[in-house]
Structure 1
Amino acid sequence: MHYVATFFAGAFLCNSIPHLVAGLQGAPFPTPFAKPHGVGDSSSLVNFLWGFINLLVGLYLFSRHPVTLEFTPDLIVPLAGALAIGLFMSMHFGKVWRDKHAQ
């Protein structure tokens, strides 16, 4: 269970970054609340709030399952979570961006 929690902690923390950045820049960006989900843009306020919630969830998971900064499975698993969501998001939002700008 520890590794599952830290995997998702890494994923939530990674996912918080683009939403917080978009929100702080005042830029629209897709969220699960947009129509269509994950494709349409949400307001900067929704993005900031969604990013902040992701940040809180990631930090909460790490507070319940601490990780050391030694190169052990305790660190590799949350990094794998961040890598997995980062790869997915970069491919998904790259396609969304291309589709929006191809019109």
Structure 2
Amino acid sequence: MTTHDLPSSPGSVVAHAAGAALLVNAVPHGVHALSGSSFPSPFADPPGVGPSTPTENLVWSGTNAVAGACLLLGVGRFRFGANLDTLVTVTAGLLAAYGISRHFTGVAARAASDDVTPGTAA
């Protein structure tokens, strides 16, 4: 049995799952940065809720992408295929996408309700 045949360590699997979540989080920030629109980021006031500039979103997207790639490719040996590593990594990415979607749906709903002009019906 070679080291290529050995299963990944639990720590590597966790690192790969975190890397997938970071890569997923890079996408909406990068899209908003490239389209020139504001979008919440940790640099906003309040963090994660208020609007951030496209430049701030570009920095956050790049940070997430680099950190995610480092975790996915630099910790242990990620083996794409029918294995636990791939299952956990893809599941983590999908769960992160769902969580991010829910968070930003709530942020958008709160922002829309704050835009109601005083004296008008909501």
TM-score interval for Structure 1 and Structure 2 normalised by the shorter chain: over 0.9
Cα distance between partner residues in 2 of 1:60 and 1:89: 21
- RMSD of equivalent CA atoms: 1.1
Matched, 1:62 2:46: no
Q: What displacement does 1:84 show?
A: 2.0
Q: What displacement does 1:59 show?
A: 0.8
TM-score by length of 2: 0.79
Structure holding more helix per residue: 1
- In structure 2, what residue type is equivalent to 1:68? R
Q: What displacement does 1:68 show?
A: 2.3
- Cα-to-partner distance string for 1:25-49 (whole Å, 9 max, x where unaligned): 1110000111111110100000011
Percent identity, aligned pairs only?
31
Counterpart of 1:77 in structure 2 is 88
Cα distance between partner residues in 1 of 2:68 and 2:89: 10
Structure with the greater alpha carbon radius of gyration: 2
Greater shift in the superposed pair: 18-27 or 65-74 = 65-74
Counterpart of 1:46 in structure 2 is 56
Counterpart of 1:101 in structure 2 is 112
Unaligned segments of structure 1, at least 5 residues? none
Cα distance between partner residues in 1 of 2:58 and 2:25: 12
- In structure 1, what residue type is equivalent to 2:110? D
Counterpart of 1:10 in structure 2 is 20
TM-score by length of 1: 0.93
Aligned length: 103
Q: What displacement does 1:69 show?
A: 2.3
Unaligned segments of structure 2, at least 5 residues? 1-10, 117-122
- In structure 2, what residue type is equivalent to 1:83? L
Moved >3 Å (runs of 4+): none
Cα distance between partner residues in 2 of 1:33 and 1:71: 39
Secondary structure of 1:36's counterpart equals coil
Cα distance between partner residues in 2 of 1:23 and 1:99: 22
Matched, 1:36 2:73: no
